[in-house]
Structure 1
Amino acid sequence: MAQTPRPDLLRALPQVEEMLQSPEIKALGSLLPRTLLADCVREAIESARRAILADALREVDVRAIADDACACALANLKPSLKRVVNATGIILHTNLGRSVLADEAVHAVEDVARGYSTLEYDTETLSRGSRHDHVERLICALTGSEAAIAVNNNAAAVLMVLAEFAAERKAVVSRGELVEIGGSFRIPDIMALSRAEMVEVGTTNKTHASDYAEAIGPDTAMLLKVHPSNYRIVGFSESVGVTELRRLADEENARRSLSTCDAECSESLLIFEDQGSGALLHLDCFGTYAEPTVAESLKRGCDLVSFSGDKLLGGPQAGIVVGSRRLIDRLKKNPLARALRLDKMTLAALEATLRIYLDPEQALRAIPTLRMLSEPADSVRDRAIRLASALDDALPEGYAQVNVVNETARAGGGSLPLCDIESHAAQITFLRGNAQDCETFLVAKRRVPIVGRIKKEAVLLDARTITDADIPEAASALRAYFDALDVSTETTRALRNDPASRSGIRPNPAKSEATR
């Protein structure tokens, strides 16, 4: 069949108003506003136009365009943010929301979300309270700090500290610690936004104490230490620890106390560590890979330490700053403290998570992040066997082979970058269908997406990040993929046996009605 010329195809595209009058679109009028339906129709028509211009469309199928517009419109009735089953083996998967909250934290969020709360109300004095009070005492008890403040995330915490203590002054940082964190946010960019003058010292792989000493001047506000939680420099490398930085700062502060210079050099030289991951417990199971705890950083001499709430701490997204009361009080008065403050639900989840840490053994059991990181490999293997058995039982005979294989899980979220975590996964090898199509189906076609990974033409579902409650969902999803495969095969056979369907032309109901 001769191909229709491109100009004729473009002229055959329906008008927006014409499409809005089609039965399929009109049926959605009671569910969605006309403006939204019109936008979806325009998007579907534009998609067809691009396909024509790219020579990817040979016939204009008005019904198909209407179907695309309907799918676009109906997507607005479904939640975009929804639960997924994480079968990747990456525990703090940033794209999947990082830490899973403990049950206590979930219940705390639900409790304050359903009604009013004591967010800024003191029931003892019957007067206005501070939202900082809900978590500050717990944070201090767990880290040994004098005071603390929590804001939206750790990048916000770093920004606020730099803006308060180093604006228009110098902050010295090693070149080997100018990290880029998730979403292309870089330490130099945050420093520039805070109006701190960044002073780079050392080289990418080696920085010495003398490099910091030579960079310190009367207008130096802080020595910034950035813990490389999402990477490691190995081999011919050297960095300066907090203890040595503390010595340099103390020497400089002693000189400043004897100096008669102006007020600029009367401010103390601070040691600020952006710790990133925020470990409150030392996880012995990771040996030399274990992150330093916040308490250890403070004991070594940091004036201020910032860290995340949703990484190794295992709570909601938050950025926490701990240190001396004098410094934290200044941060609380900074305008950014209000702009970056936490809402009631995040505070409820953070408070509940921190309270669990009062019993370290309970924390390892109750906080999902800690449990998944520290769970013995034998226990993970047992769950992988249960998962594989459920998948095998759900599959028709002759469609796939399911085995339990050894795998390596990761902490993720920019934590423990070199640490291999022993794990086990259910491996699906395909006799019908293929791994790529199955992965797409499990993610894109399911109400609860199952996110695994592909390795050597097989789909892997890692048991370290799957719970027993997730297993039936995974089995149902895999069975649905093969059921859909059967339907697709039967449809293809029917089309091959129907000569009228081979041209790929579908009627244009609107055009046909107009010509009658």
Structure 2
Amino acid sequence: MQEKLRQIPSVSSMLMNTRISNLVDEFSSEVITKIVQNTLSEIRSTTNCTSEIPTISEIADQISDHVHTNWSNWPRNVINATGVVIHTNLGRAPLSLESMKAATDSSKSYSDLELELISGKRGSRQVRVSKLLSALTGAEAGLVVNNNAAALMLGLSALALEKEVIVSRSEAVEIGGGFRIPDVLKQSGATLVEVGTTNRTYVEDYEREITEETGAILSIHASNFKIIGFTSTTSISDLSNLGARRGIPVLHDVGSGSLLDTTKYGLAAEPQPQASIAAGADLCFFSGDKLLGGPQAGIVIGRKKYIEKLSRHPLARAFRIDKMNLAALTATLIHYLKEETEAKIPVWQMISATSDDIRKRASNILNKISSNDLYSIEVIQTKSTIGGGSLPGETMES
């Protein structure tokens, strides 16, 4: 056994290997030396009488592969050939060129992120984006945090801490990654009160459960599944009327949401945040990196008094959006104001593309790829989906 262990190369001999010395030149000498030591230590601890001791060259290859695999820039660009437009595992919505430039520009120099240039006083990073959201949705004010789950957590924590929140049983859902609405309510300090049944819930069900302990009524759009058949749901308009009459804020989480009317593209109707506000919701929550076509963000719009309350909550700082995503989101929203979404925003370029457009692109790719003995390639008619928890069950010609 001792003879086996003596065959393991020394650290100094490993550092003299060309591949390892190249790594030392490229990265930190101290860090590469530590990796060599750890690798040799692992070989030593797993060696037994029947073990084959790797050569210096083999160990160097192993270390080099490890370093270049784990220390290269990440995430890497990939081609989305899944047929899913907003693929969560592939990073959701790609940004427009203008949004990418805005993010880059904000990162390479100082900016007026939280400074009033005229007065010289400290400002808020939310002022500009709030005005854009108001212009697009008709809401009194808006607030942006780092993702929609955080936005909902913030809203519940600020408005319903140690109070009850009424939710339809059909809407106490899991939205992905083990993120469940009942768990969010628990973490926010609110108590879940379920009403109705899985398939049918009426406004009377909500009203029966209102007490002095009620902090909010919460409606969650079922964005990643469908319940069909013998069903009944309560409209935001009816909930808002109830909330206004009983002095209880109504919160509406539309998930992805869409500022554009998706029925114009041959799809089912995705909830529109502006429609939620028009129907009387006090706060509406939606995502930035789904059908909006922007960066990851959680967007809250609604009544100014509630937006201000959320803004003052300690979690608003914890969930604060960074300057690069804020810049990219601002540029994305400006596309909507200029009515140039189909021309500029990749998600809407894809959704608005015709089958002929896609066939031409596929044919161009086919002409650049040669079939061989391992595979053959052809263009066929198929279906694609939106993805990203948007429009479940809906497909598009592709």
Q: TM-score normalized by structure 2?
A: 0.91
Map 1:495-506 → 2, pairs under 5 A: none
Change (3 A) 1:286 1:69: same
Do residues 86 (structure 1) and 64 (structure 2) align?
Answer: no
Map 1:152-231 → 2, pairs under 5 A: 152-231=146-225
Q: Residue in 1 aligned with 2:281?
A: 302
The one-letter code sitting in structure 2 at the alignment partner of 1:61 is P
The one-letter code sitting in structure 2 at the alignment partner of 1:118 is D
CA distance in 2, matches of 1:49, 1:215: 66
CA distance in 2, matches of 1:180, 1:191: 12
CA distance in 2, matches of 1:99, 1:91: 8
CA distance in 2, matches of 1:19, 1:180: 55
The one-letter code sitting in structure 1 at the alignment partner of 2:368 is A
SS in 1 for 2:63: helix
Out of 311, 336, 340, which is 1:332 matched to? 311
Deviation at 1:249, TM superposition (A): 2.0
Contact 2:8 2:44 in 1 (8 A): no
Out of 374, 393, 396, which is 1:418 matched to? 393
Query: How many equivalent pairs are there?
Result: 396
Contact 2:335 2:341 in 1 (8 A): yes
CA distance in 1, matches of 2:3, 2:163: 64
Out of 27, 37, 54, which is 1:61 matched to? 54
CA distance in 2, matches of 1:414, 1:60: 51
CA distance in 1, matches of 2:162, 2:141: 26
Map 1:224-243 → 2, pairs under 5 A: 224-243=218-237
CA distance in 2, matches of 1:187, 1:10: 57
The one-letter code sitting in structure 1 at the alignment partner of 2:52 is E
Contact 2:267 2:394 in 1 (8 A): no
Change (3 A) 1:52 1:243: farther
CA distance in 2, matches of 1:84, 1:131: 33
Contact 1:283 1:290 in 2 (8 A): yes
SS in 2 for 1:141: helix
CA distance in 1, matches of 2:3, 2:195: 63
Q: TM-score normalized by structure 1?
A: 0.71
The one-letter code sitting in structure 2 at the alignment partner of 1:343 is D
CA distance in 1, matches of 2:2, 2:366: 54
Q: Answer with 126-135 or 298-307: which moved more.
A: 126-135
Deviation at 1:398, TM superposition (A): 4.8
Unpaired stretches in structure 1, ≥5 consecutive residues: 1-6, 254-267, 424-516
Unpaired stretches in structure 2, ≥5 consecutive residues: none
Map 1:1-20 → 2, pairs under 5 A: 11=5, 14=8, 17=11, 20=14
SS in 2 for 1:411: strand
Q: Residue in 1 aligned with 2:130?
A: 136
Change (3 A) 1:42 1:375: farther
Q: Residue in 1 aligned with 2:296?
A: 317
Larger radius of gyration: 1
Do residues 345 (structure 1) and 324 (structure 2) align?
Answer: yes
Q: Residue in 1 aligned with 2:345?
A: 367
Out of 7, 21, 25, which is 2:20 matched to? 25
Q: Residue in 1 aligned with 2:269?
A: 290
Percent of pairs with identical residues: 39
Alignment deviations for residues 130-154 of structure 1 (CA, whole Å, 9 cap, x no partner): 1111211110010010011111110
Alignment deviations for residues 222-253 of structure 1 (CA, whole Å, 9 cap, x no partner): 110011111112233332221221232233x2
SS in 2 for 1:30: helix
The one-letter code sitting in structure 2 at the alignment partner of 1:178 is A
SS in 2 for 1:40: helix
CA distance in 2, matches of 1:270, 1:135: 23
Q: Answer with 144-153 or 342-351: which moved more.
A: 342-351
Alignment deviations for residues 55-109 of structure 1 (CA, whole Å, 9 cap, x no partner): xx96332332331112112335521223222222211111221111111111212
Deviation at 1:48, TM superposition (A): 6.1
Q: Residue in 2 aligned with 1:378?
A: 356
Q: Residue in 2 aligned with 1:406?
A: 381
Alignment deviations for residues 481-516 of structure 1 (CA, whole Å, 9 cap, x no partner): xxxxxxxxxxxxxxxxxxxxxxxxxxxxxxxxxxxx
The one-letter code sitting in structure 2 at the alignment partner of 1:33 is S
Change (3 A) 1:374 1:58: farther
Do residues 149 (structure 1) and 143 (structure 2) align?
Answer: yes
- Two-structure CA RMSD over aligned residues (Å): 2.6
